[in-house]
């Protein structure tokens, strides 16, 4: 019985030895394997500067920390630090890395922050292997191209100021009867306007009859000159040759003299009323000729630098669907309207058929040639935050960087690049918003802020 117990004890000791040996071997194996894979740290989505070795809650917002794999890939040496230096106020070429007096004039040196500029890299994203399996970006090579911008604006038909006129009283007198019914009436040249009583005009008519009788009886050069002068006076005062010829045949001047229109137009203001007395120069009627009209176009302030005299304008009216008018810009207002922030430009339209009426609203299309000397990128490749404009480009198998650029005009889905890129650079076209989201969540932008609020 004693021997049997010894045998059992011996077997248990051997089994325990093997279990300890295997456990140590497994621990070593697990320890080595942990160094082979990527390390994991825990960060806050709202505060990416928080990095912890173990799961838990963010000490700032108390949200659960998110695990992030760190593949240990070395950076390419790009410095993410924003430099701050000091310079002499009166000698800006003299700089220092530390504050102090200027060595040239002894004044205190002023602090200068290295602000962001086009071409600066402002964010870094390093993707994990698992993300690469689902990330399929496309790229666009930066290049130049011909750009034309088709801009649409609203315009309003106006009366052409150069076509405005009036019919004045050329002598003093009283209106006895008006033959123009109302404002808006179209008057043709030669139409009867009103009947007018004027002693001065009657006297001029009697002088004409006397000069005519003297000339016909004696045929002298002096009487001929007097006749011409009297005829000219009557014409200048608005009497037609057919009227004073009729007076000569009748041998008398009527007390009420008819006044006919010397021109054509639409009555804008009807000042003549029965019984009203007019002094010389006062207007019977204010007219406007609508055979030519103006189109006043409101150009956005952002496009004000692009419009030029002589540019072609394609015009459409809702009142005439399918019809198109063409004209050219012949006037640009030198002042921006402060309330609407628009620039007034004008085009003249032929309206001999009378279809267009003042007050009509039109759609004006202006095709602007932006040239072909600027670099361009697709609009979808640009991330515009309102404060800065960013594009992404690849720098390694897993690394992408965001670069700050300066843009110009936009047309046809493309944007001009004024600074920050060079011809031939390849930028991310599809996938840039995913990279931006990754940088926003995991602090890609924070690494480049250099501790200052931008």
Taking only the tens place, the pLDDT of each residue in 17-75 is 444 444 444 444 434 444 455 577 787 767 766 788 888 888 888 888 877 766 555 44
Residues 110 and 203 in one domain: no
Q: Is the same domain home to 269 and 212?
A: yes
Task: Quick: pLDDT tens for 421-430.
Answer: 888 888 988 8
In a shared domain, residues 25 and 171: no
Q: Are residues 97 and 110 in the same domain?
A: yes
Distance CA(414)–CA(376), nearest Å, equals 6
- pLDDT of 249 reads 92
Q: Would 454 be classed as within a structural domain?
A: no
Mean residue pLDDT of the chain comes to 82
Residue 55 in domain = yes
Is residue 133 one of the residues assigned to a domain? Answer: yes
The residue ranking higher by pLDDT, 136 or 279, is 279
The CATH number for 404's domain is 2.40.420.20
Instruction: Specify the pLDDT at position 314.
Output: 95
CA distance 427 to 381: 7
Cα(237)–Cα(231) distance, rounded to whole angstroms?
A: 10
Structural domain for 316, as ranges: 151-161+290-369
Q: Do 338 and 385 lie in a common domain?
A: no
Give all strands of the β-sheet with 265-270 in edge-to-edge order: 164-168, 283-288, 265-270, 186-187
Look at residue 56 and tell me if it is in a domain: yes
What six digits make up the tokens of 272? 């003549």
The answer to whether residue 453 sits within a structural domain is: no
Bridge partners, 299 (sequence order):
343
**Which helix (H) or strand (E) covers residue 364, if one does?**
strand 361-371
The residue among 283, 228, 227 whose CA lies nearest residue 259 is: 283
**Residues 427 and 328 both lie in one domain:** no
Q: How many angstroms separate the CA atoms of 434 and 230, rounded? A: 92
Domain count, the chain: 6
In this structure, is residue 226 part of a structural domain? yes
Strands (E), 169-324: 173-178, 186-187, 192-197, 256-260, 265-270, 277-278, 283-288, 292-300, 312-317
Buried/exposed code over 280-299 (b: 16+ C-beta within 10 A; e: otherwise)? eeebbbbbbbbeebbbbbbb
Tell me, yes or no, whether 411 and 264 share the same domain. no
The model scores a pTM over 0.85: no
Q: What is the mean pLDDT of residues 175-179?
A: 95
Q: Is residue 309 part of a domain?
A: yes
* Of 369, 390, 417, the domain-final residue: 369
Task: Give the DSSP letter of residue 97.
Answer: S
DSSP-derived 3-state class of residue 118: coil
What's the chain's length in residues?
A: 454
169 and 239 together in one domain: yes
Domain termination residue (choose one: 320, 351, 369): 369
CA distances from 131 to 41, 45, 378 (A): 17, 17, 25
Q: Which residues pair with 365 in a beta bridge?
A: 152, 314
pLDDT score, position 446: 53
Examine the domain organization and report whether 133 and 272 are in the same domain.
no
Is 101 within 8 Å of 107 (Cβ atoms)? yes
Nearest to 278 by CA among 137, 166, 141: 166
Q: Do 175 and 207 fall into the same domain?
A: yes
Number of neighbours of residue 320 by Cβ within 10 angstroms: 13
Are 419 and 427 in contact by the 8 Å Cβ rule? The answer is no
Tens-place pLDDT, residues 340-376: 999 999 999 999 888 999 999 999 999 888 888 889 9
Q: Which of 305, 339, 369 is the last residue of a domain?
A: 369
Between 54 and 232, where is the model more confident?
232
Domain holding 324: CATH number? 2.40.30.170
Q: Cβ(55)–Cβ(68) under 8 Å?
A: no
Q: How confident is the model at residue 277 (pLDDT cuts 50, 70, 90)?
A: very high
| Residue-wise pLDDT tens digits, 281-295 | 999 999 998 889 999
Q: Residue 111: is its pLDDT beyond 90?
A: no
Q: Does position 175 have pLDDT exceeding 90, yes or no?
A: yes
DSSP 140: E
Q: Are 417 and 142 in contact (CB under 8 A)?
A: yes
Q: In this structure, are 178 and 268 located in the same domain?
A: yes
CATH value at residue 238: 2.40.50.100
User: What confidence tens digit (pLDDT) does each residue in 401-423 have?
Assistant: 888 888 888 888 899 998 888 88
* Domain presence at residue 384: yes
Among 155, 144, 145, which residue's Cα sits nearest to residue 366?
155
Co-location of 358 and 429 in the same domain:
no
């Amino acid at each position: 019985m004693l021997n049997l117990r010894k045998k059992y004890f011996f077997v248990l000791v051997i089994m325990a030895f093997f279990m300890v040996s295997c456990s140590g071997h497994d621990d070593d194996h697990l320890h080595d394997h942990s160094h082979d894979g990527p390390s994991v740290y825990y960060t806050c989505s709202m505060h990416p500067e928080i990095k912890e070795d173990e799961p838990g809650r963010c000490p700032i917002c108390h949200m659960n920390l998110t695990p992030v794999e760190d593949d240990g890939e070395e950076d390419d040496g790009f410095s993410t630090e924003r430099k701050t230096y000091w310079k002499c106020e009166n000698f800006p070429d003299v700089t220092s890395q530390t504050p102090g007096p200027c060595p040239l004039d002894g004044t205190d040196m002023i602090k200068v922050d290295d602000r962001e500029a086009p071409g600066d890299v402002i964010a870094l994203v390093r993707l994990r292997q698992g993300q690469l399996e689902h990330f399929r970006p496309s790229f666009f090579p930066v290049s130049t191209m011909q750009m034309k911008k088709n801009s649409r604006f609203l315009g309003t038909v106006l009366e052409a100021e150069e076509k405005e006129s009036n019919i004045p009283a050329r002598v003093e007198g009283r209106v006895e009867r008006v033959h123009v019914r109302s404002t808006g009436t179209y008057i043709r040249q030669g139409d009867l306007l009103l009947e007018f009583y004027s002693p001065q005009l009657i006297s001029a008519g009697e002088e004409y009859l006397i000069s005519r009788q003297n000339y016909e009886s004696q045929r002298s050069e002096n009487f001929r000159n007097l006749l011409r002068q009297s005829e000219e006076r009557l014409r200048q005062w608005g009497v037609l040759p057919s009227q004073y010829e009729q007076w000569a045949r009748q041998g008398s001047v009527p007390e009420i003299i008819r006044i006919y229109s010397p021109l054509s137009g639409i009555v804008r203001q009807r000042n003549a009323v029965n019984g009203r007395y007019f002094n010389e120069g006062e207007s019977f009627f204010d007219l406007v000729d609508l055979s030519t009209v103006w189109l006043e176009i409101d150009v956005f302030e952002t496009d004000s630098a692009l419009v030029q005299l002589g540019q072609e304008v394609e015009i459409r009216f809702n009142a005439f669907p399918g019809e198109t008018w063409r004209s050219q810009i012949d006037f640009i207002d030198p002042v921006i309207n402060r309330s609407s922030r628009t620039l007034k430009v004008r085009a003249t339209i032929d309206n001999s058929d009378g279809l267009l009426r003042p007050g009509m609203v039109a759609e004006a299309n202006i095709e602007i040639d932006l040239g072909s000397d600027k670099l361009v990128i697709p609009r979808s490749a640009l991330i515009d935050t309102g404060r800065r404009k960013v594009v992404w480009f690849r720098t390694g198998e897993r690394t992408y960087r965001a670069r700050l650029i300066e843009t110009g005009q936009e047309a046809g889905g493309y944007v001009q690049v004024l600074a920050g890129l060079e011809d031939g650079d390849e930028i991310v076209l599809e996938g840039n918003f995913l990279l931006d989201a990754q940088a926003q969540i995991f602090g890609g932008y924070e690494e480049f802020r250099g501790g200052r609020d931008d």
